[in-house]
Amino acid sequence: MRFIFLLASLLVGCGSTTPTPATEPSGGSGSSVTRPTDPRCPDPAPTPTATCVQDCGPPVVRDGDPPPPFRWATEEDVAKRAQFGCPRCLDATVRIATPTGERLVSTLGLGDEVFTEDARGNRVVAPIIRVTRVGVPATHRVVAVTLEDGRTVRVSAMHPLATDGVIGNLGVGALLDGSLVTELRLVVPVGGATWDLLPAGETGHYWANGVRLGSTLQ
């Protein structure tokens, strides 16, 4: 079963709003159609069930980028946004495997060496070629994943796995990096920001708190 209980909580963190309804003629039938209005979204709303939401922006939003605009979203779009959230990265408490030991992701920079995976599945050392820090609103949540072997990691729902899919697709009993998921919880990210990095090489994979993950920057 997928991580469906992310729905309500993550929707709040992605800029959804409660629109004000507006009534307009339906076109000669004598009845009227109520469509939502919101000053942040262009009028008119495309459908009576549309919701004004703020775009997540590019796949990775960097410090200094302008805030993404608001737009009208369909019920289907809102459901997808609620389930998976905006693309964010790692919690500041996550430690990345490096040749000199695990280091907090927030302390790593360009050129620092980390462990990654080559195309044949070998664990190798490579320098970081991209790194990003993304500020998040107070309402944002990351997923605290606990594995049967004791490993835990805090990461956003849309963060890519080293295999196909994203963290938000996992459920209790799913397999992640060779161990079963035993718990999934929504938690507040530490420090008001999330982080990600990209090591050089074919895969972009790295180990976060001992868990092999993909990179949003790949």
Could you tell me the pLDDT band of residue 80, with boundaries at 50, 70 and 90?
low
Could you tell me the pLDDT band of residue 134, with boundaries at 50, 70 and 90?
confident
Structure tokens at 134: 């993304």
Q: Please answer whether residues 49 and 75 qualify as being in contact, where contact means their C-beta atoms are separated by less than 8 angstroms.
A: yes
d(CA 171, CA 161): 13
Task: Give the residue-averaged pLDDT of 155-175.
Answer: 90
Could you tell me the pLDDT band of residue 10, with boundaries at 50, 70 and 90?
very low
Q: 0.75 cut: is pTM over it?
A: no
Q: Write the pLDDT tens digit of every residue in 96-121.
A: 999 999 999 999 999 999 999 999 99
Q: Write the pLDDT tens digit of every residue in 19-71.
A: 445 545 545 444 566 888 898 988 788 889 999 888 766 544 555 667 778 88
